[in-house]
């Protein structure tokens, strides 16, 4: 049944997002075309489109960032709308458990966020290749330099040297994204307990819990950073690479991954319990 929930929820989300994706891609292609025209004009010392290209560059960058923020907000709002508003009467009478509902929506929300990240990064990369804007040229050069540095490290030390921390970094980024979605769902489940202004209470819980989590995490980061500095006082990244050892970074990534995984699990379990025991559709 979980598979059917994921399939149905994904189709509903994708129908909504496909229009947004197409608009962002169309805007990027239009900007690329205009940049191509500007490049031809610049060859003839004609600079009439420079201001327009500058504005388009700002619009593309803002759109790429906004796409990811908008995706997250829409995913959370869809959970709110389908679970604790009038639609909740239908959703919560389906012959499935709250665990299947919440996990299914977690997975779909995560997938949509990943797709949005890929679309936004792809648009930025495409525009950086086509654009005559100095900002986008700098972005493209930074990507090329990072890739060259990555290849140099692999050539000198072997892929196995960089593979483990790279995998840990990607896994940590993924689990943080998943955790953010579960956190949003938890805030919705807490906000719906109130009889009035559920959406407002959701925002209040989100701000309050986030403040607590940031305070605790800052305290933990300070402790771990102090230990890290004391243990590796005489080492820098170049020395670690030369000695073929990134163990301190690996330990930090592992700790971060485990903590983020625990938080994601706690958020999901709490959401399931609250919706199962304290569901309020009034």
pLDDT of residue 179: 92
198 in Cβ contact with 192 (< 8 Å): yes
pLDDT of residue 136: 64
pLDDT of residue 35: 77
pLDDT of residue 53: 72
CA–CA separation, 253 and 268 (whole Å):
22
Domain that holds residue 172: 158-282
Same domain, 130 and 179: no
* Helical residues (DSSP H) of the chain, grouped into ranges: 2-43, 50-84, 88-91, 98-130, 134-157, 159-191, 198-231, 237-242, 247-277
Same domain, 146 and 171: no
pLDDT of residue 133: 63
Q: Taking the CA of residue 233 as centre, how many other CA atoms within 13 Å lie in the half-sphere pointing to its CB?
A: 4
Same domain, 168 and 74: no
pLDDT digits (tens), the chain, 282 positions: 778 888 888 888 888 899 999 998 988 888 888 777 777 665 555 555 566 777 778 888 888 889 999 999 999 999 998 888 888 788 878 788 888 989 999 999 999 999 999 999 888 888 887 776 666 667 666 766 666 666 665 655 555 566 677 788 888 899 999 999 999 999 999 998 887 888 888 999 999 998 888 888 777 767 766 666 555 554 454 445 445 555 666 777 788 888 889 999 999 999 999 988 887 776
178 in Cβ contact with 170 (< 8 Å): no
CA–CA separation, 171 and 191 (whole Å):
30
Same domain, 135 and 263: no
pLDDT of residue 177: 93
For 90, other C-beta atoms within 10 Å of its C-beta total 9
Cα-Cα-Cα-Cα dihedral sign, residues 148, 28, 51, 46 = positive
- Point out the domain boundary residue: 154, 181, 215: 154
Same domain, 7 and 130: yes
Same domain, 256 and 162: yes
Residues in Cβ contact with 48 at an 8 Å cutoff, skipping those fewer than 6 apart:
41
For 180, other C-beta atoms within 10 Å of its C-beta total 20
Same domain, 33 and 134: yes
pLDDT of residue 253: 77
- Point out the domain boundary residue: 104, 126, 154: 154
Same domain, 148 and 228: no
Same domain, 237 and 273: yes
Closest CA to 102 of 277, 273, 258: 273
- Point out the domain boundary residue: 134, 154, 174: 154
Domain count across the chain: 2
pLDDT of residue 36: 74
Per DSSP, the three-state class of 87 is: coil
Same domain, 5 and 87: yes
Same domain, 30 and 148: yes
pLDDT of residue 137: 66
pLDDT of residue 104: 92
Same domain, 264 and 209: yes
Structure tokens at 179: 């955790």
């Amino acid at each position: 049944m979980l598979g059917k929930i994921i399939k149905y929820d994904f189709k509903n989300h994708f129908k909504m997002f496909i229009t947004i994706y197409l608009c962002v891609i169309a805007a990027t292609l239009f900007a690329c075309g205009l940049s191509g025209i500007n490049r031809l004009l610049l060859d003839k010392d004609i600079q009439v489109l420079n201001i327009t290209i500058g504005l388009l560059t700002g619009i593309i960058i803002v759109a790429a960032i906004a796409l990811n923020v908008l995706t997250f907000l829409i995913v959370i709002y869809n959970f709110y709308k389908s679970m604790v508003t009038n639609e909740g009467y239908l959703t919560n009478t389906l012959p499935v458990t709250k665990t299947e509902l919440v996990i299914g929506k977690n997975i779909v929300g995560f997938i949509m966020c990943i797709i949005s990240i890929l679309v936004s990064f792809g648009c930025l990369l495409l525009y950086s290749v086509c654009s005559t804007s100095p900002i986008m040229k700098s972005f493209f050069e930074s990507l090329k330099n990072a890739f060259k540095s990555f290849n140099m490290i692999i050539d000198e030390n072997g892929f196995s040297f960089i593979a483990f921390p790279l995998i840990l970094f990607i896994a940590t980024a993924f689990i943080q994204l998943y955790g953010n979605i579960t956190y949003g769902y938890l805030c919705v489940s807490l906000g719906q307990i109130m009889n009035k202004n559920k959406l407002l209470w959701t925002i209040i819980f989100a701000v309050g819990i986030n403040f607590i989590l940031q305070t605790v995490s800052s305290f933990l980061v300070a402790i771990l950073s102090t230990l890290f500095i004391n243990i590796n006082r005489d080492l820098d990244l170049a020395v670690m690479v030369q000695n073929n050892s990134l163990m301190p970074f690996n330990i930090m990534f592992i700790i971060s991954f485990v903590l983020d995984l625990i938080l994601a699990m706690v958020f999901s379990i709490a959401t399931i319990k609250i919706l199962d025991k304290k569901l309020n559709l009034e």
